[in-house]
Structure 1
């Protein structure tokens, strides 16, 4: 496989409102550095795939059935030829030079497995994308009915790293899945995303596995990306997406903090899934 500098993978599902702006900003930057853009459309009911197909030199794959965030991004990564891979949400707008900043950083820091740009809301405010690993307290503060009272608590603020100096490049526990920039070696030493998570928490899991394999995870604020941050799981306390978040957190808790139960084994089968994905598309 001949390698190019960068492959950007973006998964769409009814993102027609955003994908055009995303690709308008992304395609020129990727083309300039000799990279590629891969869009995986996850059974959209709108014009997301049609919009993406209008851009030249973009690979667009359309699912025949709806799949999870991990499965879709794993498929895109298996198709990718880049030395570096960027998983990027379709509701983002890459700012000029951001990709160069992340590539340069990774080139000069070989022990870093993943880095992430500084995400900003459309109004320019900094988004809390670097995070600390969840604890029981932070989960209660963020995902239980008590979150109405604990939104400004130390538990929530600590999880969101509100004490962070956002002007400094620095190591972090994990990064929001909207922007995950990795070196290809991660797929060989850590494996792809765990497809046992359909949606949510897969970004936390991946970073945890990177740390366990002695890779560093870094926040690189010199690279900036606008993120519209739909955050559907934060809109309503009792919703389908909130329930999916609970399920993913339960999987994460069982996987790392509870003793294994044979008939409820959830040990990650990432390596097997990855090899199966490669065999399927090659």
Structure 2
């Protein structure tokens, strides 16, 4: 079975040469190499044309990683597709082991190796100081061992192997992600939502220098990462860094299988059936609230609980429990108001920390004191910072975020409820009574903010409510 190896290049010819030489030296299975050059200014294209044995696509400009991969996959002949960075060096049994991992089960979607420069869950600390030592290390490391495989929520796109059938099912890479950050996260996320697994081949190691495409040009990696992260958030309502850097299996049940449809009921509300369990609705799932202090720690109020028929409650898929004593952030709501050990108050939304600069801003955002949740300072260290009313961004990595579970009025009229970075229309004002919302908590959107928002499914009345 042929494997089509797609390599995107942008300058750094010497690294591309090393990569190709390592493939030709250490690959025993049938393969082809497809080079997509993104407008290199060095001698990359002429040299590779002289080298021979390659399919070369030469772009006149840098079209980005996603577009380059799409070009390569379109001309690929293999039943297996492998995307490989040009600043990698492969070694003994690398492709053999990756294929064994991929072909272990029909529902394995994408596999990737361990490396020295990659997201934390795939990282192995290098114990070599030269290329010769690396190959010695890899010869010992790359021994087939399924016990070292691990299912995760994301794989780094520096080296990923998947079947052509997956490519046909979920489509091309999303070219709205510019240059080279989070388009791999998006592809992995789409794979999970289609019902497939992502596996780390923990018995395979590939050397990776890392970020060479940025080092070889004048691209601003921080600005690109910020833009692409915002693109992912707007598309999925999920923080891609949470998937890539947490890689916690606790998130897999929420993301596995067909996309969770937005419930006709709004998120951010408390519901119960005939039993005693109280649920918090969030992104189309019902999350049971662990009995005890959790209910009050998160500022929930019993007068805001809505009783719904058991048959309607049973139709809402289950989610992870809400538990103040559980692991952070998996067992916490996706959006809440947090306080540190000092005087800082923040909105934590989708893994983003939005500082609230003043009491006036707190009031403008329509929060109340009983919503504030005290959390350990250590929890803040793994989150990313955005900005809210009254604050300006310090750098390109900070973006304005639409806060979940807030009531908004559009510039031309019309009421909306925010959920998953979408606005859900409130067509009937009687829904305010149904869901115990207060008109005093409605905020006004600017035309620019409203134009940037996606419009989601309208909110409907809960069964049994008049």
User: TM (normalized to structure 1)?
Assistant: 0.71
The yes-or-no answer on 1:256 pairing with 2:252 is: no
1 or 2 for the larger relative contact order (CA 8 Å, sep ≥6)?
Answer: 1
The yes-or-no answer on 1:209 pairing with 2:372 is: no
Contact 2:87 2:212 survives alignment (8 Å): no
The structure 1 residue matched to 2:82, chosen from 67, 86, 93, is: 86
The yes-or-no answer on 1:5 pairing with 2:5 is: no
Name the CA distance, whole Å, in 2 between partners of 1:24 and 1:44: 20
Contact 1:113 1:182 survives alignment (8 Å): yes
Q: How does 1:98-109 map to 2 (within 5 A)?
A: 98-109=94-105
The structure 1 residue matched to 2:150, chosen from 170, 183, 186, is: 170
Please tell me the root mean square deviation across aligned C-alpha atoms, in Å: 2.5
Residues 40-77 of structure 1, C-alpha deviations (whole Å, 9 max, x = no match): 11000112223322433211111023201100001100
The yes-or-no answer on 1:179 pairing with 2:159 is: yes
Q: How does 1:151-170 map to 2 (within 5 A)?
A: 168-170=148-150
Name the CA distance, whole Å, in 2 between partners of 1:187 and 1:27: 25
Query: Judging changes above 3 Å, is the alpha-carbon distance between structure 1 residues 6 and 63 closer, same or farther for their aligned structure 2 residues?
Result: same
| Alignment partner, residue 53 of structure 1 | 49
| Alignment partner, residue 113 of structure 2 | 117
**Displacement of 1:185 after TM fit?**
1.2
Name the CA distance, whole Å, in 2 between partners of 1:231 and 1:55: 22
**Displacement of 1:233 after TM fit?**
7.0
Contact 1:118 1:129 survives alignment (8 Å): no
| Alignment partner, residue 12 of structure 2 | 15
Name the CA distance, whole Å, in 2 between partners of 1:58 and 1:130: 33
Name the CA distance, whole Å, in 2 between partners of 1:41 and 1:232: 11
Contact 1:40 1:76 survives alignment (8 Å): yes
Name the CA distance, whole Å, in 1 between partners of 2:81 and 2:15: 21
| Alignment partner, residue 72 of structure 2 | 76
**Displacement of 1:107 after TM fit?**
1.8
Name the CA distance, whole Å, in 1 between partners of 2:121 and 2:212: 16
Residues 200-232 of structure 1, C-alpha deviations (whole Å, 9 max, x = no match): 111111111111110100000212211011367
**Displacement of 1:263 after TM fit?**
5.0
Could you say what secondary structure the match of 2:115 adopts? Answer: strand
Contact 2:422 2:454 survives alignment (8 Å): no
Contact 2:89 2:207 survives alignment (8 Å): yes
Name the CA distance, whole Å, in 1 between partners of 2:83 and 2:99: 14
The yes-or-no answer on 1:188 pairing with 2:184 is: no
Specify every segment of 5 or more residues in structure 2 that has no aligned partner in the other structure, as ranges: 123-146, 238-420, 424-448, 456-466
**Displacement of 1:34 after TM fit?**
1.8
Residues 64-104 of structure 1, C-alpha deviations (whole Å, 9 max, x = no match): 23201100001100110111111000000011210011112
| Alignment partner, residue 405 of structure 2 | none
Name the CA distance, whole Å, in 2 between partners of 1:266 and 1:27: 48
Name the CA distance, whole Å, in 1 between partners of 2:157 and 2:165: 19
Name the CA distance, whole Å, in 1 between partners of 2:47 and 2:121: 31
Name the CA distance, whole Å, in 2 between partners of 1:232 and 1:210: 25
Name the CA distance, whole Å, in 1 between partners of 2:195 and 2:223: 32
Name the CA distance, whole Å, in 1 between partners of 2:235 and 2:211: 28
| Alignment partner, residue 208 of structure 2 | 227
Q: After the TM superposition, which of the residue ranges 255-264 and 84-93 deviates more from structure 2?
A: 255-264
